Amino acid sequence: MNAPIIDPLQGDFPEVIEEYLEHGVMKCISFNRRGTLLAAGCSDGNCVIWDFETRGIAKELRDKDCIAAITSVSWSKYGHRILVSSADKSLTLWDVVSGERISRTTLQQTPLQARLHPGSSTPSLCLACPLSSAPMIVDLNTGSTTVLPVLIPDTSNGLVPQSRNKFSDGAPPYTPTAACFNKYGDLVYVGNSKGEILIIDYGTIQVRAMVPVTGGAVVKNIVFSRSGEYLLTNSNDRTIRIYENLLPLKDGLRALDDLDKTANELDGVEKLKAIGSKCLTLFREFQDSITKMHWKAPCFSGDGEWVIGGSASKGEHKIYIWDRAGHLVKILEGPKEALIDLAWHPVHPIVVSVSLTGLVYIWAKDYTENWSAFAPDFKELEENEEYVEREDEFDLVPETEKVKESDVNEDDEVDIVTVEKDSAFSDSDMSQEELCFLPAIPSPDIPEQQDKCIESSSKLVDSNHSGSPLSDDAGPNGRTTNHASSPLEDNSAAEDAVARKRKRKPSEKGLELQAEKETLKDDTFV
């Protein structure tokens, strides 16, 4: 997105539902690094990869062995691999381009969340958070698991023993513990049931630092921003907390070693706390003091400027958007279906939410037509301006028209070849090519369909142009249902699995706003 004329997208947030995607019952979603592909895990064990630009299905990853619901989806750094965790206790690693399964590991417990190591392009390690035991690092090649400590024992000798219970048989049940990698994957941050954030070096299975969360409530989610500068925790006390990461992004371990040396006179828990205070500082807290709602799937925007959290109440689909300073800027309300997953697009001000019914809603900005883009010599005025004529305005031959000199020096050098780096992605240590798109192979027409005139304006349900500014008089609109679906080449999906995109019937308030817009639209030019 090099073009300087595209509006700066930082600092914007979505406002309305633009579209929804439907394919089976989707449970969890994840964008690839650039937001060009959206992977969605379904309840039937399949993983669908959507091409986000065309809003069509780019690939389906089907596994005959896996028919249980997918619990989480995770991309590798450059988009070549996807890790899928499923309710049948398995972790499956896929190669995206070929659609082939690389490996499948079965755990003792259902992993609720699994994240591929974010530092490498072909990761073999992943972090899995099982349903009721401590998070573990799984080596996908060998299948071996390394359980991470979740509690700091009260011993004063500073040693952290291995977690007592590898598998919870006969031992006190753990509540699911949240964990995540830091940006480059050298450390794991764990949020435990005592309301502490533990910074763990998984190589040595040692807790290196501890940060107590105010209030000590169970930590349900822990997430880093894309830049790695901010950390977010979602606790049982209905508060989302933002921490600033004080450790350097790369080489976090070495910084911890340095901090270790400075805190040498302390011991055990005190030492870990002291180091912890140098790793994270509390920045902000977000809560809804009126409704005191529990939050679900909170995350940062792509640039870290905004924080979103979904309401965990059943029966409503609400997304709260705060700016990083803590101000609530918007509440997005969707149809009355519980929200189960949420993701912000890495680059654009687009939010994608998954509802309990399995639909994926795409929220985008409500676009108001920029008329000066169509007619540059028109200036849009906010209020009346007093116009003062030029001296020669009414002259027969105005002075200013006689001489028209080009103020451009045509001899200047013009460089048509050099490309500027995309500033939105500062990670330019790209040794491998990033996978941004899956090749689009057009599915062939059935011969008798070639004469058929495909009507393109069939399914414009009710009156809904929220966010689609161009569809009225121009007639045919692309978002239709293609009833006569031609056989899909590489997707062996049945007819009913063809992705259909339709506009949702807006809420009453939405219809009100539509009516307003309709009257405005009559004056528009086409």
Partner 1 sequence: MTTEPNESFRPYTLTQTLTGHKRPISAVKFSSNGRLLASSSADKTLRTYCLSNSDPTLSPLQEFQGHEQGVSDLAFSSDSRFLVSASDDKTLRLWDVQTGSLIKTLTGHTNYAFCVKFNPQSNIIVSGSFDETVRVWDVKSAKCLKVLPAHSDPVTSVDFNRDGSLIVSSSYDGLCRIWDAGTGHCMKTLIDDENPPVSFVKFSPNGKYLLVGTLDNTLRLWNYSTGKFLKTYTGHMNSKYCISSTFSVTNGKYIVSGSEDNCLYLWDLQTRKIVQKLEGHTDTVVSVSCHPSENMIASGSLGNDKTVKIWTQTKD
User: Should residue 453 be labelled a site residue for partner 1 when binding is judged by CB under 8 A?
Assistant: yes
Residue 2 binds partner 1 (CB under 8 A)? yes
In angstroms, give the least distance from the CB of 247 to partner 1.
33
Print the binding letters for residues 376-395 with partner 1: x by CB under 8 A, - otherwise. xx------------------
Nearest to partner 1 of 274, 488 (CB atom):
488
Q: What are phi and psi of 466, to 5 degrees?
A: -65, 115
Report the site for partner 1 in 339-368 (rule: CB under 8 A): 348, 364, 367
Between CA 517 and CA 511 the distance in angstroms is: 10
Contact between 477 and partner 1 by CB under 8 A: the answer reads yes
Cβ distance to partner 1 smaller for residue 293 or 436: 436
- The residue among 164, 103, 184 whose CA lies nearest residue 139 is 103
Q: Which region among 22-30, 117-125, 305-313, 474-482 touches partner 1 (by CB under 8 A)?
A: 474-482
Residue span binding partner 1 (CB under 8 A) among the ranges 71-79, 192-200, 270-278, 403-411:
403-411
Q: Hey, what are 155's tokens?
A: 């011993």
User: Residue 119 or 469: which CB sits closer to partner 1?
Assistant: 469
Q: Where are the alpha helices (DSSP H) in 304-398?
A: 371-374
State the nearest-atom distance from the C-beta of 279 to partner 1, in Å.
Answer: 37
The answer to whether residue 1 forms part of the interface with partner 1 (CB under 8 A) is yes
**Selected range binding partner 1 among 80-88, 113-121, 271-279, 434-442, rule: CB under 8 A:** 434-442
Q: Does 415 bind partner 1 (CB under 8 A)?
A: yes
Beta pairing partners, 199: 189, 209
Q: Does 67 bind partner 1 (CB under 8 A)?
A: no
What DSSP letter does each residue of 242-263 carry, written as one string? EEEE-S-SS-HHHHHHHHHHHT
Is 315 an interacting residue with respect to partner 1 (CB under 8 A)?
A: no
Give the one residue of 11, 54, 505, 518 binding partner 1; rule: CB under 8 A.
Answer: 54
Residues 6+ apart with CB under 8 A from 109: 89, 130, 131, 132, 133, 167, 168
Q: Is 53 in the site for partner 1 (CB under 8 A)?
A: yes
Segment contacting partner 1 (CB under 8 A): 319-327, 382-390, 441-449, 507-515? 441-449
Kindly report the length of the chain. 526
Interaction of residue 476 with partner 1, rule CB under 8 A = yes
Closest CA to 356 of 372, 342, 375: 342
Residue 166 within binding range of partner 1, rule CB under 8 A: no
Q: Is 315 helix (H, G, I), strand (E, B) or coil?
A: coil
Helical axes 252-262 vs 268-277, angle rounded to 10°: 120
Report the C-alpha gap between 152 and 269 in whole angstroms: 7
Q: If we measure between CA atoms, which residue out of 295, 283, 300, 307 comes closest to residue 211?
A: 283
CB of 99 to partner 1, least distance (A): 15
Distance CA 326, CA 324 (A): 5
Residue 412 sits in the site that holds partner 1 (CB under 8 A): yes
Beta-carbon neighbour count of residue 132 at 10 Å? 15
**Contact between 416 and partner 1 (CB under 8 A)?**
yes
403 forms part of the interface with partner 1 (CB under 8 A): no
Per CB under 8 A, the list member of 156, 281, 400, 443 interacting with partner 1 is 443
**C-alpha span between 288 and 296 (Å, rounded):** 13
Residues ≥6 apart with Cβ < 8 Å to 316: 333, 336, 338, 339
CB-wise, 296 or 345, nearer to partner 1? 345
Size of the site for partner 1 (CB under 8 A): 65
Residue 5 as a binder of partner 1 (CB under 8 A): the answer is: yes
| Cα-based distances in Å from 418 to 409, 410, 414 | 21, 20, 10
Q: CA 222, 226, 230: angle at the middle one, nearest 5?
A: 55
CB closer to partner 1 out of 219 and 350 = 350
Where on the chain is the footprint of partner 1 (CB under 8 A)? 1-6, 36, 51, 53-58, 348, 364, 367, 369-370, 373-377, 404, 408, 410-420, 422, 436-445, 450, 453-454, 456, 469-471, 473-480, 482, 526
